[in-house]
Structure 1
Amino acid sequence: MSWFEFQHEAMATTFAIAIADQSEAYAKQAATAAWREIDRLESELSRYVQSSDIARANRIARGETIAIGEDALQCLLLAAEFTVATRHAFDPAYASRRAAAVAGLAEADPARAPAPASTTAGQDSPPFTLDPDAHTLTSHIDRLHLDLGAIGKGYALDGIGALLREWEIPAACLQSGGSSVLALAAPTGHAGWPIGLGDEPAQRSLALADSALSGSGIAVKGVHLQNPRTGRSADRTTRVWALANSAAASDALSTAFFVMSNAEIAAFCADHPEIGAAISTADGQLLVYGRLAG
């Protein structure tokens, strides 16, 4: 299998693109366009860029409403869906100034922990709401702290995947920092892109195509993932992976799976047959669920 590889620094990580079945010159042009799109998305989604929609949202007062762009809106809507689906194991507003109240509620009954954003009434004290028609965000707490780090890179991979398809490049593999992979169609003559899953001695290789795989763990950054249900660091010490149809989904779910128990992960995959999960155990084994168990 032969392809051309390109790298770019953005969003505090290294993005990589492998493009197959194209000339080197055309692949390079497409990769350059992809990097421009990544930089544009960073300017709108990063909380560290002071002019971004997310940084602006983090500066507004309770009751204040601001206009946000299409990408911030769509990424936050996706994030809200995963917050609800994972019963608050994933939350882009986990560090907002309502964490203590949420933590106490979650410890008493995790099922009642409020979801972050909602376009419908009736949710239990969401910290912010979105109006998709008006493209606005309204804060309902004293200090909002949105962080799209656990979904934004996956959203960006999906964005450049769509861009490459517009360039009529079907066979490509996109990576973000080695933790998230989006595989488009497989190169000609191959079942998929070879992607490693798991840790030694139970590591295996996947032939990934038209799917995304993301992993979460503490080996690289140490203990850094917070459990939104409790407000404390996640208890898990081994790595987890999520397989999904989009990189945004796999990115968010791998973070949620790091917080959830093994039983919760198994139940989630049973309820969502399009999702797969893998868990590296303390004794070096690999537990697989859903699509990854097939």
Structure 2
Amino acid sequence: MTPPEHKLFHHEAMKTTFFLRLCGEDESLLKGIASEAFHLIGELEQKLSRYAEGGDIHRINALQAGETHHISEESHACLLTALEAYIHTGGLFDPTLGSLIDHQKQQQAGEVPRPLGQLIIHPDTPAVTCVEPGRIIDLGGIGKGFALDQLARFIDGWDIDGALFSSGASTHLAVGDVSWPIELVGDQYQSHTMLHQQALSASSFDIQGCHIVHPGSAGMAITEVSPEKNPHKRIWAYSQAAAFADAWSTALMLMPTAEIAQTPTTENQLTAVHLEQADGLHLISAQA
């Protein structure tokens, strides 16, 4: 289907390409909005990436027992969002598994490291306290979606009809009065959906691969999950917020189909799920 008339801008950050599709007639205005938006993404990457020396997450991961680090409002909001996703996914989305991700990603020899240690995210103050070191925060499963949500907040009030924000081809957020056609391309099947004032995020072995680890079994990798229990090859999660769509798409890859069908859905968390299995694409609608 044909998308609405728009201007396309792109920017490399967070190890992906961000795309901004902005609707409006004033091209100069749209260019200015895109420039400021990309600057915002750059600032977020410095704060949220665990590899950015001097950034909030990098400094949190270096904390010793009893130490507290005061962080930016954006990092605090992202951590609280990640904690909320952890709770709603029953712990399947865990943003503190950096050491497990490294072990799987780098194919390290030896026993899979157990997630040890404890951090306290202060709810009312932008600060994190280390009770016991060992937890390595990695926001790769939610940071890009969170960045899209921040872009939506940034353009609120600008004189544009609508926009579609994308991080790579995996996560999209539609804002404004415009609907956007999104292709759902799986390994064997494909379809499309119209995205309107909501977010959509995809996960699969091909998209995230070794970045998906199972926190409930000492870091068992997704490739070790029984295909009989998890026959889906690709999952698309819908939510009102891109951060939650991002986190849920990862968590759902670790869940059997029957469990996905019974997962409660809410407006601000998970609203619907598309999944690809051997017999085609299936839509699991939002439940009360």
Could you tell me the TM-score, scaled by structure 1's length?
0.83
Query: Which of 215, 218, 228 does residue 228 from structure 1 map onto?
Result: 215
Q: What SS class does the counterpart of residue 246 from structure 2 fall into?
A: helix
The count of aligned residue pairs is: 263
Amino acid in the other structure paired with 1:163: F
Work out which of the residue numbers 167, 171, 195 in structure 1 matches 2:162: 171
In 1: Cα distance, 2:65 partner to 2:161 partner = 46
Distance 1:89 1:223 in 2: 15
Q: Deviations over 1:213-240 (max 9, x none)?
A: 0001122454431112121111357111
> Aligned residue for 1:280?
276
Match of 2:67 among 40, 45, 64: 64
Matched to 2:13, the amino acid is A
* Residue equivalent to 1:128: 119
Cα drift, residue 100 of structure 1: 5.3
**How far off its partner does 1:144 sit?**
2.6
Q: Which residue of 1 aligns with 2:191?
A: 204
Determine which of 141, 146, 152 is the counterpart of 1:150.
Answer: 141
| Cα distance in 2 for residues equivalent to 1:264 and 1:126 | 29
What displacement does 1:201 show? 5.1
1:24 paired to 2:27: yes
Q: Secondary structure at the match of 1:155?
A: helix
Q: Does the 8 A contact of 2:117 with 2:134 survive in 1?
A: no
2:257: which partner in 1?
262
CA distance in 2, matches of 1:14, 1:47: 19
Query: Aligned partners of 1:134, 1:52: CA distance in 2, in Å?
Result: 18
Instruction: Write out aligned runs for 1:100-111 (5 A).
Output: none
State whether structure 2 residue 68 is matched by structure 1 residue 81. Answer: no
CA displacement, residues 114-158 of structure 1 (integer Å, 9 cap, x when unaligned): xxxxxxxxxxx9721111333210122222300001101000001
Q: CA RMSD in A?
A: 2.2
**Counterpart code for 1:68:** I
1:40 to 26, 40, 43: 43
Cα pair 1:127 1:144 within 8 Å, conserved: yes
Structure-2 residue corresponding to 1:160: 151
CA distance in 2, matches of 1:35, 1:60: 30
Query: Which aligned runs of 4 or more in structure 1 are off by greater than 4 angstroms?
Result: 99-102
1:226-269 Cα distance to aligned partner (Å, 9 max, x none): 1121211113571111000010110111011111221222111x
* 1:139 match: 130
Pairing partner for 2:237 from 213, 223, 242: 242
> By how many angstroms is 1:23 displaced?
2.1
**Maintained 8 Å contact 1:198/1:286:** no
Q: Take 1:221 and 1:263, find their aligned partners in 2: how far apart are those partners?
A: 23
Residue 29 of structure 1 aligns with an amino acid whose one-letter code is: G
User: Hey, what's the Cα distance between the residues in 1 that align with 2:246 and 2:265?
Assistant: 19
Task: Sort the Cα spacing of 1:198 and 1:288 in 2 relative to 1 into closer, same or farther, 3 A.
Answer: farther
User: C-alpha distance in 2, partners of 1:151/1:81?
Assistant: 11
Do 2:71 and 2:127's aligned partners in 1 also have CA atoms closer than 8 Å? yes
Is the 2:117–2:133 Cα contact (8 Å) retained in structure 1?
A: no
Question: Shift of residue 95 of structure 1?
Answer: 3.4
Alignment-derived partner of residue 95 in structure 1: 98
SS of structure 2 residue aligned to 1:194: strand
Q: Identify unmatched segments of 5+ residues in structure 1.
A: 103-124
Provide the secondary structure at the position in 2 that maps to 1:62.
coil
How many Å apart are 1:168 and its aligned residue? 3.0
